Amino acid sequence: MAYCVLCGKKVGLLDQIDLDFHGSKQVLCSACDVRMNKASPGERQDLEQQILASPHLQKADTVQANVNTGKVCPACGAILERKLEHFSIGADGGGGLMTLLADQYEVDLYACPQCGKVELYTAGFVPPSSTQKSELKEQASQAAPETIPAQSDEKRSFRFPWQKEEKAPWEK
């Protein structure tokens, strides 16, 4: 027995409908599924907020992490939603030993709920906060040499005996 994430009604195993919601499967009753499918974009957003506040929300920590990514869409400025986590790209899909030899890279896939733009980020990458950025800048400035010796006009490089020490006519 499960409970509908929208209305809280008990739903039997054969009557439940799974809703893919921010990287998790949520249970809906048939009436709420019809409501979700017929909802306008504004109403759907309200229903999604209701799902987020539901006590019957499954894998709530995963859903909250996928909703509150902190990544902003470069096209429209909306908050991106994580759709796939640790997704391998670059594999040829042939299976077997060929998959082991192919170069792969793991990414997280984010999609914009408003404009549909898709962004790829390195799997598990969390950008540093503004305070962490300022700390990194301070550490970099402290690690840099404080004084830079002034360079004189004359060159102090090694010269072989057959090399001329005179400047070329155009350098005089």
Give pLDDT tens digits for 121-157.
888 777 666 666 677 777 777 765 555 555 555 555 6
What does the pLDDT look like over 37-50, one tens digit per residue? 898 888 888 888 88
Residue 170 lies in a domain: no
Asked whether the beta carbons of 5 and 51 are under 8 A apart, the reply is yes
pTM score above 0.95? no
What does the pLDDT look like over 125-135, one tens digit per residue? 776 666 666 77
Full domain range(s) for residue 7? 1-59
Highest mean pLDDT among 66-70, 98-102, 111-115, 117-121: 117-121
Residue 12 lies in a domain: yes
Pair 52, 73 in one domain? no
Q: How many domains does the chain have?
A: 2
